[in-house]
Amino acid sequence: MPCRPSDWAPGGLDRILPTPFRRPSPRCTNLVPERVRPALENTLKDLQLDYIDLYHIHWPFRLKDGAHKPPEAGEVLEFDMEGVWKEMENLVKDGLVKDIGVCNYTVTKLDRLLRSAKIPPAVCQMEMHPGWKNDKMFEACKKRGIHVTAYSPLGSSEKNLAHDPVVEKVANKLNKTPGQVLIRWALQRGTSVIPKSSKDERIKENIQVFGWEIPEEDFKVLCSIKDEKRVLTGEELFVNKTHGPYKSAGVRSLGSRELSSHQPSCMQAEEAQRR
Ligand SMILES: NC(=O)c1ccc[n+]([C@@H]2O[C@H](COP(=O)([O-])OP(=O)(O)OC[C@H]3O[C@@H](n4cnc5c(N)ncnc54)[C@H](OP(=O)(O)O)[C@@H]3O)[C@@H](O)[C@H]2O)c1
């Protein structure tokens, strides 16, 4: 089975990341150039592997060793994004990693990275579900040729959308479970998707998302869920309201108008609904 992000052409094969797909990320405390390779080497040793398919920058900030949650004064350190990325690129060159990517990036940070990157990120991973469509970032990645992976596609354990009445209604209509509808929604948007369950039955249920489609009218209904709220803002990880350097987590994003025409973006669906 093709596993590399470069095989996931837009509109190509459906993408739910298979279990053997190896996609760890260095801890925020290791986001300093000299720690990137040792961190990867430790991960390879732990996993007893020779290489990793996809290595992500987990969050675009660096924490001091032993940082608290939320961080105390002086625990959020300067992040040398370009230096860290260069080391990630070296891992690719040395065959230790097949592809490199980022998570939780903003458009500004992505463009800063792209200005110096010799190997552009293959993947950008972000929170994405009908309750946080993240259109602006999704469209920015598409425009820059970067594949998107949707994390927390069920809304996470905190905001489990499997119990949302709109999702339940669509699921009943299609004779599918709410979990399947949410995962299928992500695939139909053109992202790969990483649902998580601790239960065997649900893992089996969550993989039954191929060979059927959410019809356009129901896709639009799912897109119309109004209570847009990001669950994982990262606030407890990197915000110190008194001492900074991050005094808040920007949590709302309004959708971009620059839409590409070939993907069923939610914004397109919403606009179509308005017309
Ligand atoms: N890059 C990042 O910064 C980042 C951040 C967050 C998450 N992630 C990754 O994204 C993946 C998933 O994220 P997540 O765990 O936050 O959220 P999620 O997959 O959206 O939701 C997991 C929750 O949904 C429940 N669930 C699973 N299948 C279900 C189904 N069919 N019906 C109803 N409920 C179901 C699970 O409970 P049970 O276990 O009881 O089934 C669990 O409570 C993980 O691999 C995680 O590591 C990445």
Q: What are the pLDDT digits (tens) for 2-51?
A: 345 544 433 333 455 555 555 566 678 989 999 999 999 999 999 999 99
Q: How confident is the model at residue 244 (pLDDT cuts 50, 70, 90)?
A: confident
Specify the ligand 1 atom closest to the Cα of 194: 11
> What is the reported pLDDT for 103?
96
Residue 152 lies in a domain: yes
pLDDT digits 0-9 by tens, 72-124:
999 999 999 999 999 999 999 999 999 999 999 999 999 999 999 999 999 99
For residue 40, the Cα-to-chain-centroid distance in whole angstroms is 20
Residue 3, domain member (yes or no): no
Least confident of 40-49, 242-251, 264-273: 264-273
Question: Residues near 257 by Cβ (< 8 Å), separated by ≥ 6?
Answer: none
- Return the ligand 1 atom nearest residue 163 CA: 33
- Whose Cα sits closest to atom 22 in ligand 1? 156
* 265 touches ligand 1 (CB under 6 Å): no
Report the half-sphere exposure of 130 (CA within 13 A, side-chain side). Answer: 30
> Which residue minimizes the CA distance to atom 37 of ligand 1?
197
Q: 130 in ligand 1 pocket by Cβ < 6 Å?
A: no
> How many residues comprise the chain?
275
Q: What is the mean pLDDT of residues 221-230?
A: 87
4: in domain? no
Residue 35 lies in a domain: yes
Residue-range definition of the domain harbouring residue 51: 11-274
- Domain presence at residue 233: yes
Q: pLDDT class for 231, splitting at 50, 70, 90? A: confident
Q: Is residue 62 part of a domain?
A: yes
Between β-strands 52-57 and 62-63, what pairing exists: parallel, antiparallel or unpaired? unpaired
Domain count, the chain: 1
In a domain, 165, yes or no: yes
Would the CB of 27 count as within 6 Å of ligand 1? Answer: no
Write the pLDDT tens digit of every residue in 186-224. Answer: 999 999 999 999 999 999 999 999 999 999 999 999 999
Instruction: Find the CATH number of the domain harbouring 179.
Output: 3.20.20.100
Using one digit for the tens of pLDDT, what is the confidence trace for 136-175?
A: 999 999 999 999 999 999 999 998 999 999 999 999 999 9
Looking at the CA of residue 178, tell me the nearest atom of ligand 1: 32
Per-residue pLDDT at 249:
81
- pLDDT of the residue at 233: 86
Non-local (6+) Cβ contacts of 238 within 8 A are: 28, 59, 61, 63, 70, 71, 76, 246, 249
- In a domain, residue 6? The reply is no
Measured from the CB, is residue 162 less than 6 Å from ligand 1? yes
Closest-lying ligand 1 atom to the alpha carbon of residue 196:
19
Is the CB of 232 inside a 6 Å radius of any atom of ligand 1?
A: yes
